[in-house]
Amino acid sequence: MRINRALRIGVGAIALTLAAATATACGGGDDKSALDHAKDGKLTVGIKFDQPGLGLRTKDGSYSGFDVDVARYVAEKLGVQQDKVTFKEAPSPQRETLIENGQVDFIVATYSITDKRKEKVDFAGPYFITGQSLLVKSGNTDITGVESLNGNKKLCSVKNSTPAQNVKEKYAKDVQLQEYDTYSLCVEALKAGDVDAVTTDDVILRGFAAQAPDALKVVGQPFTTEKYGIGVKKGDQQTRDQINDAIESMIQSGAWKSALEKNFAATGYQIPAPPQVERY
């Protein structure tokens, strides 16, 4: 068990190091700030590619989801046309590295604001608030919410995510945590019966459940508070200020609400009240 874990951590570390090395080799990062890139008329934005309703790349190469709409709105406010925004996949374990290396100008990818992450990156926002929940097969009757997590159930979440961290801190004795690279891989494992539940933010799980309403269901009440921020380079106050202005304008104009309604219409998801941007 222990050797296995050490191996996995080792492999993970190598993968991350390789990703970082490739970044530098590709010259993805120049010295320009996000606002400089915006002045040049183009931006690179990190999003998820596999989360329905939030950040999804479809087979024809188009993008959809609330995070995509937020990214486009912000880009437009920074003076960049929608077709000049390049989307780059920002899986949970790689988000800080992508920002630090300058491979993206900012990240809109179900990215919770945390003090630990603030050591490496800064956040505009929040632009959305949700909480950790559980997704199970529709026939499952023994997992009904966080209080029923016991009996060594197999739980899937994603490396370097706040839900995985929370499980390790609070429920390690009760469950076996399996950490994958993406939530879509967790959902496949759930459908295949390899894990008993997937845990991450409620809004993410709702998007997956809506794609397979006969097979999957979200259970219980959200049991953490996740404030989604837009990740920017640490210390780039100007970019952060302008993105905060854009988020406020998206909320005030009604574009925020209609983007949520559009992306979650099919899910029956109750649109929450908009958050207050927290400037720090």
- Smallest distance, Å, CB 231 to ligand GLU? 9
User: Looking only at residues 100 through 159 of this chain, which bind ligand GLU when binding is defined by CB under 6 A?
Assistant: 109-112, 158
Long-range Cβ contacts of 84-87 (<8 Å, 24+ apart): 84/41, 84/42, 84/43, 85/42, 85/43, 85/44, 85/45, 86/42, 86/43, 86/44, 86/45, 87/44, 87/45, 87/46, 87/47, 87/57, 87/63
Q: Is the Cβ of residue 44 or residue 92 nearer to ligand GLU in the bound state?
A: 92
Cα dihedral 49, 55, 58, 63 in deg (nearest 10): -110
Among 44, 94, 97, 161, which residue sits at the site for ligand GLU (rule: CB under 6 A)?
161
How many other C-beta atoms can be found within 10 angstroms of the C-beta atom of residue 152? 11
- Smallest distance, Å, CB 187 to ligand GLU? 13
Token duo for residue 118: 């603030």
Q: Is 196 in the site for ligand GLU (CB under 6 A)?
A: no
Cα–Cα separations (whole angstroms), residue 119 to 7, 124, 128, 243: 27, 14, 21, 20
Among 44, 92, 263, 267, which residue sits at the site for ligand GLU (rule: CB under 6 A)?
92
Among 67, 105, 201, 236, which residue sits at the site for ligand GLU (rule: CB under 6 A)?
201
Q: Is 94 in the site for ligand GLU (CB under 6 A)?
A: no
Beta carbons of 204 and 52 less than 8 angstroms apart: no
- Smallest distance, Å, CB 229 to ligand GLU? 9
Cα distance between residue 145 and residue 136, in whole Å: 10
Token duo for residue 47: 């999003």
Q: Is the Cβ of residue 162 or residue 267 nearer to ligand GLU in the bound state?
A: 162
Q: Is 162 in the site for ligand GLU (CB under 6 A)?
A: yes
Cα distance between residue 72 and residue 85, in whole Å: 7
Which of these, 240, 44, 271, 43, lies nearest to 125 by C-alpha position?
A: 240
Q: Is 182 in the site for ligand GLU (CB under 6 A)?
A: no
By rule CB under 6 A, what string of x and - marks binding of each residue 220-239 to ligand GLU?
------x-------------
Q: Which stretch binds ligand GLU (CB under 6 A): 13-21, 161-169, 236-244, 255-263?
A: 161-169
Among 103, 200, 244, 267, which residue sits at the site for ligand GLU (rule: CB under 6 A)?
200
- Smallest distance, Å, CB 260 to ligand GLU? 16
Q: Is the Cβ of residue 80 or residue 195 nearer to ligand GLU in the bound state?
A: 195
- Smallest distance, Å, CB 12 to ligand GLU? 15
Among 163, 222, 231, 274, which residue sits at the site for ligand GLU (rule: CB under 6 A)?
163
- Smallest distance, Å, CB 139 to ligand GLU? 26
Binding site for ligand GLU (CB under 6 A): 92, 109-112, 158, 161-163, 200-201, 204, 226
